[in-house]
Structure formats: C-alpha cells, structure tokens
Amino acid sequence: MLATLAATRTGTIAECGTGCGVGAAWLRSGAPKTTRVITAELDPELAHGVMSMFVEDDIDVMHADWRDLAEHAPFSLIFLDAASARSWPREEIVDLLDPGGMIVLDDFTPSQTWPPLDRGRVDTLRQDWLSDDRFTSVDVMVAEDTSVIVAVKR
C-alpha cells in the first residue's frame, strides 16, 4: 500500500520513525525517481543501521527527531504510526503538508463502529483524523488486526 500511495506523489515524501527501514523501502520502491524520500529516526542505533543499509539507495536517512523534518517541508506525503501521532502535536504535523498532501497513519486496531473504538474506549486519534474537515480520509483494514488511515489535505 505504501508503494502504491507513494507512486502518486511528487516533491518530497517523509517518514517519521524509520525503525528498521521497511517503510522507507516501500516508499522509495513506489515513488517516482524524481520524488525525494526522507526518513527520520530518533534511536541512533536504528538510524545508523538504516543509513548503512540504504547507502546505495536514494533515501535520505536522518538521525533526528521528527520535528527536524520541518526544514525539508513541505511534504506531499507523511507516513507515521499511530503511537507517534498520539504523542506529537497534530497541527505541527498538518503544517508540514503541501495542499493536496497525504498523511498515512498505521498500526490502528480495526473498528467497525462509530465512533471508532479501541479496547472498549473511543479512539479519539482516529476519530479526529476521520472527521477533520480539512481532509478527505478513509480507514482501511490492511490485515485482520491492523488498519491504516489515509488522509488527503483538501
């Protein structure tokens, strides 16, 4: 899914939280060659490991906090996990997007109710993204136990 979404993007796309580099690899594999892919990882061991892994690839890996990505904004796509999105100021993330830019938030627990529930409680993060009038958003189940929100800035 990341590769497919990245294929629709130009300019610069960003990943917040590189981890082991899987998301960045999917983004790069789908994005047009002229699209810049940048990823930021706070953990120094992970960041430097991924830097070494991608030394031959066209992926910019930063050992940095997500806020350091701002100097490379605006982005046509930002990919981050739900846990990170819960702890980061939402408006700062939105401000990093181009008009028409896309936010991809993964690692949600699927919910078939409205408002969306997670462990019997309202999932306010998901509810906020799905009901934000600045975006057209969808919650996509990608596995039996995982869903992803794709939100496009109007």
| Residue 20 pLDDT | 92
CATH of the domain at 86: 3.40.50.150
Q: Which strands sit side by side in the sheet containing 60-63, from one edge to the other?
A: 60-63, 36-41, 12-16, 75-81, 97-108, 146-153, 135-143
pLDDT > 90 fraction of the chain, expressed in percent and rounded = 81
pLDDT band at 149 (very low <50, low <70, confident <90, very high): very high
pLDDT (tens digit, 9 = 90+) per residue, 7-32? 999 999 999 989 999 999 999 999 99
Higher pLDDT, 150 or 81: 150
73, pLDDT greater than 80: yes
Give the per-residue pLDDT at 64: 92
Name the pLDDT band for 33 (thresholds 50, 70, 90).
Answer: very high
Q: What is the pTM of this model?
A: 0.92
Rounded Cα distance, 35 and 18, in Å:
18
* pLDDT for residue 131 is more than 80: yes
- Please, which residues bridge with residue 60 across strands? 38
| Domain total in the chain | 1
Helix (H/G/I), strand (E/B), else coil: 97 = strand
Range of the domain at 82: 2-153
Can you give the length of the chain in residues? Answer: 154
